[in-house]
Amino acid sequence: MSRAVIVLALSFAGAPARAQSIEKTEFTAPAIFTMSVTVKPVAPPALMAPLYSSFAGLAAADTYLTWQAVHSGAVESNPVVAPIARNASGLAAVKFVTGAATFLAVERMRRDHPRAAMWIMAAADGGMIWVVWHNSQVAGLRP
C-alpha cells in the first residue's frame, strides 16, 4: 500500500506545471439593486450603568447566600438550580450565565426601546433585591 502511495506521489510531482492565463476571465454582473443600512448608535440612558452594576452585585450576593444557606441545611426550591446548589463553582456558573443572558436581552431591547429596557432592568433589580433578602433570611443572617 505504501509503495502505491509513493509511486502516485512521485508521478504527480513529475508532471509539468502549466502557466496561468494573464487574461482576466472573471465576469462581474451589474448590480440589479443596491441596499444601504444605516445604524444610529443609541446612547444608553444614564441609569443603565448603575442598574447593571447593582444587578451584578445582587447576583453575586444571591450566589453566595444560596450556597451558604444550602450548606447550613436549607433546601433549594428552584428545581433547575437544586442539583448543583451544593457545588460552588457550578452554582456560580449558572448564576453568571443567567446574569449574562439578562444583560444581553436587555441590551438587545435597549436598541429599539431604551426606556422599556431601563424599566425592565429596574424590575430585575427589584426582584433580585427580594431574592437576596429572602436568602439572607433562610441563611440565618437576618432575624
CA 61 to chain centre: 20
- Asked, for residue 31, whether it belongs to a domain, the answer is no
- Asked, for residue 41, whether it belongs to a domain, the answer is no
pTM over 0.75: no
- Asked, for residue 14, whether it belongs to a domain, the answer is no
- Asked, for residue 94, whether it belongs to a domain, the answer is yes
The model's pLDDT over 107-121, given as tens digits with 9 standing for 90+, comes to: 999 888 888 999 999
Closest CA to 132 of 61, 69, 72, 77: 61
The model's pLDDT over 9-67, given as tens digits with 9 standing for 90+, comes to: 556 555 555 555 566 666 676 677 777 777 667 666 788 889 999 999 999 999 999 99
Q: Do residues 60 and 76 touch, judged by C-beta distance below 8 A?
A: no
Instruction: Please state the domain count of the chain.
Output: 1
Q: Do residues 114 and 42 touch, judged by C-beta distance below 8 A?
A: yes
Q: Which domain holds residue 131?
A: 52-138
